[in-house]
Amino acid sequence: MAKVSVGLRGWRFEESEIFTDEGEFKPLDEIPEDPRERLMRLVSLVEEPCDACYLIHGDEEIQQCRQAAIVYGEPREEVLLCEHHEPDFLYWFREEDGRDLVGDAVFADAFHEWFAAGGRAPDGYGGLEYVDTEPDELPSPPDANEIQRRLEENFVEGERINLRDYGPGADDEDGTPLTEDDLDGVDLDTDYPTK
């Protein structure tokens, strides 16, 4: 199967992981975790402005910003770019050691700081060439309301556990009674989350 971009170029998905044999998006619970997280994140990113344009124009002149067409990085630490500013990002990534920050929580911030400080690709620095094959053949991803509805349908409430059942007087796994020392530092009045 081929890899495809959905909504924005950059993040690539294995077709078989996100599409049914009929070419429709699979239900979210059938999509593996990483592609599902990226698809859900894309829903909120497709209408956003280019980060570089935003750094130049800000809120006051946001209408001057181009819409993002490309996404790089990891979900919630991504960089959104228009085609005009993609070469700047690629230069930073390739020549200014941006690749060393892949997967790091400061990935997007580091690019933003470099760009805001005047970092730019030299004139004529090449971007990437993309091949759009049958872009109209891809189904539209579900909208944000549909994703939220599906998440709510699949939400599982965690089981409550009373930690007092495991406190002094309860047996350890080997049958030895637990003592106060075994629970030193544990706050038994706290509701801890469970799966």
What does the pLDDT average to over 9-31? 90
Give the type of residue at 105.
A
* CA-angle at 148, arms to 144 and 152, nearest 5°: 170
Residues in contact with 107: Cβ distance below 8 Å, sequence separation at least 6, in sequence order = 73, 74, 77, 79, 98, 101
Distance CA 184, CA 195 (A): 24
What are the structure tokens assigned to 75, written together? 């979900």
What are the structure tokens assigned to 157, written together? 């409430």
165 DSSP 8-state letter: G
Judged by average pLDDT, the poorest of 8-17, 122-131, 162-171 is 162-171
Q: Which residues pair with 49 in a beta bridge?
A: 67
- Residue 85's pLDDT band, with cuts at 50, 70 and 90, is very high
CB-CB contact of 14 with 32 (8 Å):
no
Judged by average pLDDT, the poorest of 24-28, 164-168, 181-185 is 164-168
What does the pLDDT average to over 41-65? 91
